[in-house]
Chains A and B, each alone.
Chain A
Amino acid sequence: SQQGEEDPQALSIQEGENATMNCSYKTSINNLQWYRQNSGRGLVHLILIRSNEREKHSGRLRVTLDTSKKSSSLLITASRAADTASYFCAPWRSNMRFGAGTRLTVKP
Chain B
Amino acid sequence: GAGVSQSPRYKVAKRGQDVALRCDPISGHVSLFWYQQALGQGPEFLTYFQNEAQLDKSGLPSDRFFAERPEGSVSTLKIQRTQQEDSAVYLCASATEENIQYFGAGTRLSVL
Contact = CB atoms under 8 A, between A and B. Distances in A.
Contacts of B106: 41-42
Contacts of A101: 42
B38 to A, nearest CB: 10
B100 A44 contact: no
Given A42-B105, A42-B106, A92-B99, A99 B42 contact: yes
Contact of B100 (A33, A86, A98): A33
A88 B33 CA distance: 16
Interface residues of B, number: 22
Contacts of A96: 33, 45, 99, 101
A95 interface: yes
B43 A43 contact: yes
A47 B58 CA distance: 27
B104 interface: yes
A44 B99 contact: no
A5 B101 CA distance: 18
A100 interface: yes
Interface of A: 1, 31, 33, 35, 41-45, 48, 86, 88, 90, 92, 95-101
14 contacts: A41-B105, A42-B105, A43-B93, A44-B103, A45-B100, A86-B42, A88-B42, A92-B99, A95-B45, A96-B33, A97-B45, A98-B45, A100-B41, A100-B42
